[in-house]
Structure 1
Amino acid sequence: MATFWAIVSASALNGLGAVVGGMPLAPDVARRLLLADRSRELSDILNEARNHLDSLVQLDDVEPLIASISTYVPSSSWTQVLLRDHIVVGLCADFLDEVEPHLGKAFTPPSGTYGPWLGRGTGTRVRWDEELRSRLEADQDARSANSVFARKLVGEMLSVVQRLAAVHADLTSALTGADGGELDDLAAINEVLAAVLSKHDDRVAGLGLEP
């Protein structure tokens, strides 16, 4: 469905903006190159996803809502730049794991899997997460602030997903496999989000932050 690819496009576009916007917070050239490598990955996702759109009207329909996440929860440190992308990728991966059994070819990248898009096993993802863990370990004084940042970011993302699910009922039904009507669709997507949030809490705790 076009709405699905519009959401993917908007997410990649705003992820790209968040990564590029983190350049001034990067402490040195090596870290800026890490951002550049991540930007390239997000650009590849955007270029593929936008090919599924018939017009930019579809993107205009969802992009402002997704863009609001960065507006309400901006990154204020290098650690938070790293943490933001780590959280977003983790949530997206868990969400796709939950709904992938219901997705047909119309929702699937050419490779047949979302793994490359999520950077699973890639050098950039490994370096990114190693840098994040190093920063969190070195800056224990900011643990509380980073925990609050993570909670705000996740709360805003889940709120956006719920609003998109309520507006785009056909997509919600397709993603969840529920076909009992709008209320059943929303109940199903809330179950998916609960599972995603549970995995997120475990992942954040593994970073030494408070879920």
Structure 2
Amino acid sequence: MTETPPAAGSSGVTDLLGVLAYAELTAFWRLAEDAARLAPSLTDRAVLSDLAATEYGHFRLVRDRLTEMGADPEEAMAPFVAALDDWHAKTKPGDWLEALVKAYVGTGIAQDFYREAARHVDARTSGLVDEVLADEGRSEFAVDRVRGALSQDPKRTGRLALWARRMVGEALSQGQRVAAARPDLAALLVGPAGEDLAEISRMFARLTEAHGKRMSALGLTPGP
């Protein structure tokens, strides 16, 4: 029997859009800060500022959808403020390359979880999540700058690989914290009726594969 995915307005969908809205809002703040604080050239500052502006546009899309659903955007975001702020505080980049790795690898693992949750919601919500998580040039920019820097100084590879692993570890830790506090959101990750252990294993395999591809793209792990 096919189960109907959670509808817009359900607590799980509201949680998904709430965490995504706050993630996009904080991404705007952090990218703008990194552009001003760490970018080594005006060109880099401009590109990162453009990406920040895009994130704010995505935040507005999710905020407006929450309002349309009858939810208060601030109330929807509130349960996730502490976890996301804590993650950003623990992964504040110390230099330009760390900022780029965070923007690509750290943000990427979080977005993977949102995409997994969106597989189990109504079509409109799923489409909105896909639109908001569109790459918008972030990957190409980060990969180009990081690989260029590593080609000039390969000794940086080990440090940046450790930095990426640290961010993913922190992201998983905060994700577990959110899942424990918001069971309806956690339920979206495993789908209707909890699905089965095999599907959960496949989900984590997809997450691991996506992370490995990002690390390889940056030159932080051996290629295939």
Q: Take 1:62 and 1:132, find their aligned partners in 2: how far apart are those partners?
A: 30
- The AA in structure 2 aligned to 1:198 is E
Structure 2 gaps, min length 5: 1-12
One of 193, 199, 202 as aligned partner of 2:210 = 199
Give the TM-score of the pair, scaled to structure 2. 0.78
CA contact (8 A) 1:12 1:45 kept: yes
Q: CA deviation at 1:129?
A: 3.0
CA contact (8 A) 2:32 2:48 kept: yes
Q: CA deviation at 1:109?
A: 4.3
Give the TM-score of the pair, scaled to structure 1. 0.82
Q: Which residue of 2 aligns with 1:117?
A: 132
CA contact (8 A) 2:16 2:114 kept: no
Q: Which residue of 2 aligns with 1:65?
A: 83
Q: Does 1:21 find its partner at 2:33?
A: yes
Q: Take 1:188 and 1:154, find their aligned partners in 2: how far apart are those partners?
A: 22
What RMSD, in angstroms, separates the aligned Cα atoms of the two structures? Answer: 2.8
Q: Does 1:3 find its partner at 2:18?
A: no
Q: Which residue of 2 aligns with 1:166?
A: 180
Structure 1 gaps, min length 5: none
State the identity as a percent: 24
Q: Take 1:194 and 1:72, find their aligned partners in 2: how far apart are those partners?
A: 26
CA contact (8 A) 2:16 2:117 kept: no
Q: Which residue of 1 aligns with 2:10?
A: none
Q: Take 2:53 and 2:20, find their aligned partners in 1: how far apart are those partners?
A: 16
Bigger Cα displacement from structure 2, 74-83 vs 135-144: 135-144
Q: Summarize the Cα distance change of 1:137–1:103 in structure 2 as closer, same or farther, 3 Å threshold.
A: farther
CA contact (8 A) 1:147 1:209 kept: yes
CA contact (8 A) 1:172 1:186 kept: no
CA contact (8 A) 2:40 2:96 kept: yes
One of 117, 128, 144 as aligned partner of 1:130 = 144
SS at match of 2:151: helix
Q: CA deviation at 1:210?
A: 4.6
Displaced runs of 4 or more, over 6 A: 184-188
